[in-house]
A and B are shown apart, each in its own frame.
Chain A
Amino acid sequence: MRRLTRLRAAADTKGAPYLFIAPFFLLFGVFGLFPLLYTAWVSLHDWSLIGGNEGFAGLDNYARLLSDEKFWNALVNTLGIFAVAVVPQLMLALLLADTLNRAIRGRSLFRMALIIPYVTSIAAMAIVFSTLFGTEFGLINQLLGTVGIEPVNWRGGRFSSWAAIAVMIDWRWVGYNTLIYLAAMQAVPRDLYEAADLDGASRMRQFFQITIPMLRPTILFTVIVSTIGQMQLFTEPAVFDTGGAMQGGTQGQFQTVMMLVFQEAFRYGDYGYGAAISWVLFWIIVVLGAVNALLARTIKGAP
């Protein structure tokens, strides 16, 4: 009896931690790892939405992808929108966080307001933004008209569509990143600022020489998270598009890689090719993540 209890106690202390983390790994295995490997498997086959597996194709899907203009177009669009959206987004978030970190009136109210776009339903956002960016009846073009600027066909041009989508992305994510920065700023020891004050350093100087260096790990974290998120960009350009065909504009001027995956797999029924594109996208993200991590190590080493 006693031996059994002891055994159980040993199993408790040794086994329990694994038991506690098991649900995550089980769920990850079922909803993360399995689909990932299955996608790789599908990508090596001629696989149609309706007919299912139509035979082994080797690397045919990947070979096709390399010479597929639409894939490269989608990749350029994804990277382009990433650049246009994320750089201003993180800079704006930093400035907002710094402002909200000061003793200003109604601070809590502003902090709460920041998160509202993040919790707003995407459907509502889609309606608001497609109304704003309309060519004929859009509010933005009407405002531009009052200062004599010709109406812009936001969806028609490559850069205009990127800009409009970047606005939608930033509207949604600036608040989220601001809150992360704000949390990190509050962990910066106050005495650093007090010392700087005594030395007569300006607010600007304090921001660049104390806040930014102290926030480095956090900034890197947000860059990595944004990279992963933005490479899979789908929702904003999809709702910005007219019709549900995932074409990304009349000539694919804002079709992202994920939209192409959706179009190939679900609109054209070519699962195998869709799987190949998503698998390549996965490796692009892994590589970008690795680059980020390397950068992080180098920067951390710097004074």
Chain B
Amino acid sequence: MLLATACGGGEGSDGGEVTLTIDTFGVMGYDALLQQFEEETGIAVEERNVTDLADYTPQLQQNIAAGSGAGDVVAIEEANIAQFLSQPDRFVDLAEHGAEDRQGDFLEWKWEQGTTPDGKIVGLGTDIGSMGMCYDTVLFDEAGLPTERDEVSELWSTWDDFVSTGEEFADAETGASFVSTIQPYFRAVMSQNGGAPYQDEEGDLVLESNDDTRAAYDTVVGMSDLSANLPIWSEEWNAGIQNNAFATLPCPSWMLGHIENTAGDGGAGRWDVAAVPGGGGNWGGSFLAVPEQSEHPEEAAQLAQFLTSVEGHLGAWEEANTLPSTVEALESEEVTGFTRPYFNDAPVGEIYATTAMELEPVYYGPDTQAIDDAFRAALESVEQGQADADEGWDTAVSEAERAAG
């Protein structure tokens, strides 16, 4: 019985009433929105949330492949969207449910990421992860560096400047490191170059032919000496946040919540947000799609539309600070006027909304998540001194070949 109820992806309950299931991961900020949707439409919605994306994605892949078990609406992360776009017949074309007019609402690259080359609308954008650079004002002060966010932004207009600032910081011997681990900087540097960093639109690997990717890798490897070698998302890394073990962290808007929750009250006012070197960049963000297997595609599309409308985006922004991917929401007073007290009242809304408008579109191929993982391991092995830069690169490339093969 338990199994039956747990797997029943949105079966109509008694008397023609419709219950929809929505699969989400992480913090999407949909509590109030779903309640509002239920009240307005009379359609019941059940949210099934998985915290960790690494657990969520394989489960979703299997449910989509098996043709059953997925929710009526499913969230898909940026790194995986291409993989699902490559099997468009498993998803409802949202153009048939009134989404065809919405192209103008979204940031252009976000819209394109969710649409197949022949124009089928598979995923509607939810949030984006445009970047800021979080820095610890107390540590910066101890190291004799400026602490005002504008002055800090001026310290590093390029990544080379960022590294030399880091060296200056290291010379001051505060006891802390400049970066926690070099891995997140890789994604930050790479996304600034735009284009296709890992795979082209045919799904072929371009690691060896795209010089930007190797250049991003080399830039980031150059930070190894500044690193605390704390693997990202590990207990150690969180302990590093609590113990002020490092001074900077690339901060997509969703990272702010992580710092605030991890550092707790003791860290209030310590961190601030400056511009990211090299300008802009995006890390993460999601889409909503309706699997073909849904028994209520019409209602499911309605829900996906609602959650990705300007109103829906603003609701999620208010609840969880997930940065909207619609232009109108990005330009709204709710976003641009938003400051975050925990981060010295940094005008985070304005910082993120501005960089969001300047982003270069990036194409993430079908195996992006696996290739990301391969680079993460390679970069960690280099910063921990188990491999040199070339060995790390070769390992990452051969893993990427396995993943894409």
Which residues of A pack against B, CB within 8 Å?
Answer: 49-52, 127, 130-131, 134-138, 153, 155-156, 242-245, 247, 249-251, 264, 266-270
Min CB distance A65 to B, Å, is 13
Complex contact B377–A250 (CB within 8 A) = yes
User: What 8 A-B pairs have minimum CB-CB distances, sorted nearest first?
Assistant: A244-B54, A250-B381, A245-B373, A242-B231, A242-B234, A137-B239, A134-B236, A266-B58
Known pairs A134-B235, A156-B386; list 17 more (Cβ under 8 Å). A49-B61, A127-B235, A130-B236, A135-B236, A136-B228, A136-B230, A137-B239, A138-B236, A242-B234, A243-B54, A243-B232, A247-B377, A250-B377, A251-B377, A251-B381, A268-B405, A269-B367
Q: Which residues of the other chain, B, contact A50 by a CB distance below 8 angstroms?
A: 61, 64-65, 83, 86-87
Min CB distance B267 to A, Å, is 16
With both beta carbons as reference points, the residue of chain B lying nearest to A50 in the complex is identified as B65
How far apart sit A130 and B236, CA to CA, in the bound complex (Å)?
8
Min CB distance A11 to B, Å, is 33
The B interface, classified by DSSP as helix, strand, loop or mixed, is helix
How far apart sit A156 and B386, CA to CA, in the bound complex (Å)?
8
Which residues of B pack against A, CB within 8 Å?
Answer: 52, 54-55, 58, 61-62, 64-65, 83, 86-87, 228-236, 239-240, 243, 245, 367, 369-370, 373-374, 376-378, 380-381, 384, 386-387, 395, 402-403, 405
Min CB distance B80 to A, Å, is 11
How far apart sit A138 and B229, CA to CA, in the bound complex (Å)?
14
How far apart sit A138 and B243, CA to CA, in the bound complex (Å)?
13
How far apart sit A136 and B230, CA to CA, in the bound complex (Å)?
8
Q: Which residues of the other chain, B, contact A267 by a CB distance below 8 angstroms?
A: 58, 369-370, 373, 403
Min CB distance A120 to B, Å, is 17
Min CB distance B258 to A, Å, is 15
Complex contact A269–B61 (CB within 8 A) = yes
Q: Which residues of the other chain, A, contact B232 by a CB distance below 8 angstroms?
A: 242-243
Min CB distance A161 to B, Å, is 11
How far apart sit A250 and B182, CA to CA, in the bound complex (Å)?
13
Complex contact B65–A49 (CB within 8 A) = yes
Select A251's contact among B64, B230, B243, B387, beta carbons within 8 Å: B387
How far apart sit A267 and B59, CA to CA, in the bound complex (Å)?
11
Complex contact A130–B58 (CB within 8 A) = no
Q: Which residues of the other chain, B, contact A49 by a CB distance below 8 angstroms?
A: 61-62, 65
- 22 A/B residue pairs, CB under 8 Å, sorted by A: A50-B61, A50-B86, A50-B87, A127-B235, A130-B235, A131-B235, A131-B239, A134-B234, A137-B236, A137-B239, A137-B240, A242-B236, A243-B54, A243-B232, A243-B234, A244-B54, A250-B381, A266-B61, A266-B62, A269-B61, A269-B367, A270-B405
How far apart sit A155 and B231, CA to CA, in the bound complex (Å)?
10
Given A130-B234, A243-B376, decide whether A268 and B402 contact each other with a Cβ distance below 8 A.
yes
Q: Which residues of the other chain, B, contact A130 by a CB distance below 8 angstroms?
A: 234-236
Complex contact B373–A136 (CB within 8 A) = no
How far apart sit A247 and B375, CA to CA, in the bound complex (Å)?
11
Given A49-B65, A250-B377, A266-B58, decide whether A242 and B233 contact each other with a Cβ distance below 8 A.
yes
Min CB distance B238 to A, Å, is 9
With both beta carbons as reference points, the residue of chain A lying nearest to B53 in the complex is identified as A244
With both beta carbons as reference points, the residue of chain B lying nearest to A137 in the complex is identified as B239
How far apart sit A49 and B239, CA to CA, in the bound complex (Å)?
37
Given A156-B384, A251-B387, decide whether A243 and B236 contact each other with a Cβ distance below 8 A.
no
